[in-house]
Structure 1
Amino acid sequence: MKNATLLGCCAAWLLVLASSHPARAADDLPNIVVIYADDLGFGDLSCYNDDAPYKTPRLDQMAAEGIRFTDAHSPSTICSPSRYGLFSGQQIYRSTGRGGGAFEGPSGPSYLKPGTLTIADMLKQQGYRTGVFGKWHVGLSWFDKDGKRLGGGFENSLLIDYEKSTPLIDGPNARGFDESFVTPNCPNTDPLYVYIENGMVPTPASVRHQRDTLPNPGGKWRWDNDEGWKSPGYDFVNADLLFYEKTKAFITDHVRQTPDKPFFAVLSTQIAHAPVLPAKEFNGVTDAGPRADFVWELDAIVGRVIDLLNELDIDDDTLVLFNSDNGAETLHVHWMRQDHQHDPSGGWRGMKRDGWEGGHRVPFIARWPGHIPPGQVTDQMTNTTDIFATVASVVGVALPDDAATDSFDMLPVMLGQQPETDPIRPHLLTQSFRGEFQIRQGHWKYLDHQGSGGNGYEQGSMALYALPEQEPDAPGQLYNLKTDPGETTNLYFKEEAKRKELQALLEKLKTSGRSAPIGRKPFRN
């Protein structure tokens, strides 16, 4: 009965998409590559930060050849809920009812529930071959020998019955991807440390990882490498080079074997998540320490992807999107500020986990030669969830109203067809570490909570960045980002009418089941 229900859901989606809009001809469909960075702050690229103590030449080049968004945001201020937003086009509360944490150990089930239309589902139904490589981290179902679903906890890794657990019932290949090579959690931080290839685990976890077997750049940058169970031969230091090679093989094989069919590839890196473990060839390439070397490695990988597209003579036929899942990690921000006078948050208040801008304002760059005019910089407000509707527009799909319900089509902006004075988004939702909401409307921002929504700023290194709260009795925060981009002056009481307006809008969006418009149609250039 369960399998019949799932098949029925898939068939229903197929019929809806097929009837909602005629698919474009295969030779009119571009290849699509998403490069999804991890814990990369707004100020971590030199094209976003003139004061960065290092350069990111390939990403700067990508921005110069396409469009760079300066008001782009992650759906959440931590990784797993943001990844749900990328794949589903929705805020995490659509799946959980509120917030969502990050997974550790053999924990799940997936935030991507059965029946959820994913971006890979949608593209696969339009004739794309789909692949994802790198960090998955939206939850997976693992079972013990008695068929009981396992939860988090490092020791539970040894209880996995791989015969009963694989092929994974909610892995990438069950969510629209034809090919996958992923890790279940953060590749270098959270056990279970195994590789999953097309829903199977070639080498189960049987060895206890000891962090002192890894390099420790600068004596501190190995921080946040948890000890737990791993597969023999699991490679921490070369993780992203491995993910790139898997992506390269997928693209190369596809172009050689089925050149008349488009592909969709997601390269989900673990840079610049803790621990900072740049591959050997990148050690010391900058003058700003190990984390800068790490970001340089990410930049080089982006360059290798673009070079590969050129080598295969498909560059002009490929849309490349670069984005990050949230702001930079707390100690990374602190150490880079103290040691190298570099601000990964790019001048914005807050960092990873926080509802302030530094927690969710992130880089977003798009490049598509011959289609996206070069040299564009836009302050159009956008969210990672918008990638779904934008890609749907690219391939000519009118999305059903009950799919990707927080996704707006940014293609007109990318193509240079949308005036800056005419915003695509009338509003934008984000969620912080505890699932609390923030809402933007123009330059006004309301935080439906006190404090950061994530980190504590009472002691230790974080106390250096604490700001006095002028309205300590206010249950929420209201800021005018046009006059107060640092979110220093809480206008909760002084601008009562605007605050009530945003509170009412937030409640409406939460209860209506969507924040995106209904009846979305593909944009035609």
Structure 2
Amino acid sequence: MKNEVNVCLPSRSAGRRVIIGALCFMAALSAFAGQGRPNIVLINADDMGVGDVSGLNPEGKIPTPHIDSMIDNGLALLNGHSSSGVCTPSRYSLLTGRYSCRASISGQVAKGNSPARVEEGRTTLASLLKKSGYRTAMIGKWHLGLDWKPLPNAKQSKKGVIALKDIDYSKPFGGGPVDRGFDSFFGIAASLDIPPYVWLIDNRVSEVPTETQPAVKGKQAPGGYMREGPKAASFEMVDALPRMGDEAVDLIKACAPEAKAGTPFFLYLALNSPHTPIVPSAEWEGKSAIGTKYADFAMQTDGVVGQVLNALREAGLEENTIVIFTADNGCAPHADYTVHLEKGHNPSYIYRGQKGDLYEGGNRVPFVIQWPAGAPKGRRSDQLISHVDFLATFAELTGQKLADNEGEDSISFLPLLKGVSDTSPRKSAIYNTISSKLAITDGDWKLIVGEGSGGWTRPGERYMKTAFGAVKDENPLPMGLFNLKDDVGEYKNLLLEYPEVKQRVFEKLKHDLERGRSTPGKPQASNINRLDYLDREKGKGKKSKAK
């Protein structure tokens, strides 16, 4: 039975007591108490480039000592990827083990009033672990849509969208974390610059929004951007990240007794930072040597990681807890990208592109895991790993076998994590982005099915030249073919030089989409629109060759 929460909570401590009370109650009821199973904490930063972690970027100017300590004490996956260059599709794949291009959302970014994006009944990391007796909790940014209830006589679109002003915030919403496998949820509906601006507890708002946040853009905005929409009177953007860190610490403390007794927990901590609005708290503002708010906010993000690691240590849970740090996609152009390049800091490190792109800078993300009791420390691996692989990895960890309609694209990397193997069985991965264009990595080769980046970086985008020299595509080709082994920066498009490679990799992509899965098993339903798109792009390629 789900915990019922009053719409109006008078204070932060009251909200926390509700969550902790539900936590202890559910944990006490757990019938499955196998000894030795590790706790799992999955921290997902928002718009943090791989170059923003000092332990992954020798030339980086943003110190991240806590994430760096995880690298020293665990495994850094240097070829780790999200499945998309933008928020919603990336988060869908992380939780479901399925490429978002197979779902109706494709590359779409959800709004605060978008309907639920994770299909009802679909297995998620939370529901999988819950079957194995884990206590499951989420704190932070959901951004996968919610099924809000409308006010009387309010209009609703054919796609189920209710205008923000027509939502009945006094009623529970559906399709959120507690309907997709989590025992409890404390967080926000979408990004911190997307309304409604209000804390959510389980399946309700913590208080009914009574104010309107005005739209703020450009230099007037705190950190770059804010959308207009409903706001709760007590909700302040600058408090969001510290609150998420505090809630995570309290949850770990609450879980500790049951975890030690044999009931492990899974915490999905989806931070709002360093995404816009870039609002470091007072104690962090001005801390960075390069003097940007983004750098301060990234440092504060690392500080929250430190809070979590310290809480685990103090609770006596550090040894047998898997802690994962990653990000949903690369750094956003809104984060004063050019300013950082001028100061010698490249958020994308040596990779081309940024958030929204199919270039590596859009989806090659920080991917660090520590597990003192189960994984050797101080390792770095260049094996290909994707966010979609969490589901199969956790299934193997807990002795579960995935059904044909679960985690269709997920491959376990548990042997690599444990150090019993130096290789990953994953040889290929599919990516999409804001434009819903697709790319595939297959061995050393990467094919972008579309012109340029497929995202926000136009061919020859000028802000990239400081980092890469003159990376200009004066005559952009209809697709991009790159050999990542020789050219990880994606400088040279080899499309015309290796037509047979392009055809082989293209057919691999089409085959995996047609089957509705990229792993062995029974074929599953696929998004037919993606196949239509591939045929159109293939036709463009033929026309270009004929010229």
Q: Same fold (TM over 0.5)?
A: yes
Residues 185 and 499 of structure 1: CA distance in aligned 2, closer, same or farther (over 3 Å)? same
d(CA) in 1 for partners of 2:237, 2:177: 22
C-alpha separation between the residues in 2 aligned to 1:502 and 1:251? 45
| One-letter code aligned to 2:163 | N
- Show the 5 A alignment for 1:40-79: 40-79=48-87
1:123 aligns with 2:129: yes
Distance (whole Å) between structure 1 residues aligned to residue 61 and residue 93 of structure 2: 32
Matches within 5 A, 1:113-262: 113-146=119-152, 150=156, 156-163=163-170, 165-166=171-172, 168-187=173-192, 189-210=193-214, 222-256=223-257, 259-260=260-261, 261-262=263-264
Q: What is the deviation of 1:327?
A: 0.6
1:183-223 CA distances to partner (integer Å, 9 max, x unpaired)?
11102x111111110101121222011467x9x9x977621
Structure 2 Cα separation of the partners of residues 220 and 416 of structure 1: 47
Letter of the structure 2 residue corresponding to residue 449 of structure 1: G
- Assess, with a 3 A threshold, how the Cα gap between structure 1 residues 460 and 317 changes in structure 2: closer, same or farther: closer
Contact 2:114 2:161 in 1 (8 A): no
Q: What runs of 5+ residues in structure 2 fail to find an aligned partner? A: 1-30, 523-547
Contact between 1:333 and 1:344, CA under 8 Å: does it hold in 2?
no
SS in 1 for 2:383: coil
| Partner in structure 1 of residue 352 of structure 2 | 349
1:336–1:343 CA contact under 8 A, matched in 2: no
2:374 is matched by which residue type in structure 1? H
CA distance in 2, matches of 1:419, 1:177: 33
Residue identity (%): 31
Q: Taking structure 1 as reference, are residues 51 and 77 closer, same or farther at Cα in structure 2, changes over 3 Å only? A: same
Alpha-carbon RMSD across the aligned residues, in angstroms, is 2.5
Aligned residues of 1:470 and 1:489 also touching (Cα < 8 A): no
**Which shows bigger deviation, 389-398 or 317-326?**
389-398
Change (3 A) 1:333 1:379: farther
* Alpha-carbon offset, residue 464 of structure 1: 5.2
Compute the displacement of 1:105 (Å). 3.4
Q: C-alpha separation between the residues in 1 aligned to 2:133 and 2:363?
A: 33
Bigger drift between 142-151 and 499-508 goes to 142-151
Equivalence map 1:442-521=2 (5 Å): 442-457=443-458, 462=463, 467-469=471-473, 472=476, 474-518=477-521
Q: Per the alignment, do residues 27 and 147 of structure 1 end up closer, same or farther by CA in structure 2, a change over 3 Å counting?
A: farther
Corresponding residue SS for 1:379: strand
Give the TM-score, by structure 1 length: 0.87
- CA distance change for structure 1 residues 480 and 258 in 2, over 3 Å: closer, same or farther? closer
- Answer yes or no: is the 8 Å Cα contact 1:333–1:351 preserved in 2: no
Q: Which amino acid aligns with 2:88?
A: S
Using the alignment, how far apart are the partners of 2:478 and 2:461 within structure 1?
Answer: 25
Match for 1:468: what amino acid?
K
Partner SS for 2:334? helix
* Matches of 2:213 and 2:102, distance apart in 1: 36
The CA deviation at 1:148 is 6.0
Q: State the distance in 2 between where 1:114 and 1:262 align.
A: 25
Contact 1:248 1:308 in 2 (8 A): yes
**Hey, what's the Cα distance between the residues in 2 that align with 1:460 and 1:413?**
37
Offset, 1:355: 0.6
Partner of 2:544: none
**Aligned pairs for 1:287-302 within 5 A:** 287-288=289-290, 289-302=292-305
Post-superposition Cα deviations, 1:242-274, rounded to whole Å, max 9, x if no partner, equal 112222222211223564211000110011111
CA contact (8 A) 2:141 2:270 kept: yes
Q: 1-side partners of 2:360 and 2:508: how far apart?
A: 20
Matched residues in 1 for 2:149 and 2:32: separation? 42
SS in 2 for 1:331: coil
List runs of 5+ in structure 1 lacking aligned partners.
1-22, 520-525
Distance 1:338 1:63, change over 3 A: closer
Q: Distance in 2 between matches of 1:113 and 1:148?
A: 25
Secondary structure at the counterpart of residue 93 of structure 1: helix
